[in-house]
Amino acid sequence: MPAAAPPPLLAVFDLAFSRDETPIFGPLSLHVGAGEALLVQGDNGAGKTTLLRVLAGLLRPDSGTVMLAGQPAHPTLRAQQIAYLGHLPGLKADLSALHNLQYLCGLHGRRARLQIDTALALVGLTGFEDAPLRTLSAGQKKRLGLARLWLSPAPLWLLDEPYANLDLEGIQLVNRMVQAHLEAGGAAMITTHGAYAAPPVRTRLLVLKRPDA
């Protein structure tokens, strides 16, 4: 008898979120399996960031269930399974690029056999190791967030506008990273305003609209 397929890395059932009784999204059901990317599109204010923040456990939904690798999501599981790249990448302004990554790797773990220097080189930040974060440009900060993402051992990437502030080479870098992550058995949910930046991988599309729109 063939072995049962593994559960999707992310499965969401009837998830809904509102603010001050105004519905922002949902009820929404979706799943993302290993090797898949789900592109989340929608107008400004459609709820893309909010959805990713709920999935990351940063906001509490009104209702619904989030399953990670077949188990109900809880903080420890989220920390193991999810790498979240948001608008504020969780970096400290006064720490250097290198110290930020050392700090975050200490907190969340690091992909086996991957050195921080290697991740900095991948994102084009060699030579900026000692630069305090506050002296980096918006695109360089985004690149540091990408180095953090690459260092993370978590299989499910939640990427909120990963292309924002990046030049063309940076956009291609994100796409190469997503492709490599999926080929290694990971998955990604990616918010974006335009399909122009869709990574060249097996991608499904979720278009978000406000429930009251």
Residues that bind ligand ATP (CB under 6 A): 19, 24, 42, 44-50
Rounded-to-integer distance, Cα 101 and Cα 39, Å? 27
Nearer to ligand ATP by Cβ, of 38 and 147: the residue is 38
How far apart, in whole angstroms, are the C-alpha atoms of residue 202 and residue 37?
6
Nearer to ligand ATP, 50 or 175 (CB): 50
DSSP annotation of 135: G
Own/partner long-range contacts of 143-147 (Cβ < 8 Å, ≥24 apart): 143/170, 143/173, 144/89, 144/91, 144/97, 144/100, 144/101, 145/85, 145/89, 145/90, 145/91, 146/85, 146/173, 146/174, 146/177, 147/97, 147/101, 147/116, 147/119, 147/120, 147/122, 147/123
Nearer to ligand ATP, 110 or 141 (CB): 141
When the beta carbons of 114 and 206 are compared against ligand ATP, the nearer one is 206
Strands 10-19 and 22-32: antiparallel
In whole angstroms, the minimum distance from the beta carbon of 30 to ligand ATP comes to: 16
Q: In the bound complex, what is the minimum distance in angstroms from residue 25's beta carbon to ligand ATP?
A: 8
Smallest separation (angstroms) from ligand ATP to the CB of 84: 14
Closest contact distance (angstroms) between CB of 129 and ligand ATP is: 31
Q: Which residue's entry shows tokens 């429930």?
A: 211
The CA distance from 8 to 70, in Å, is 7
Minimal distance, residue 188 CB to ligand ATP, in Å? 17
**Closer Cβ to ligand ATP, 44 or 76, answer by number:** 44
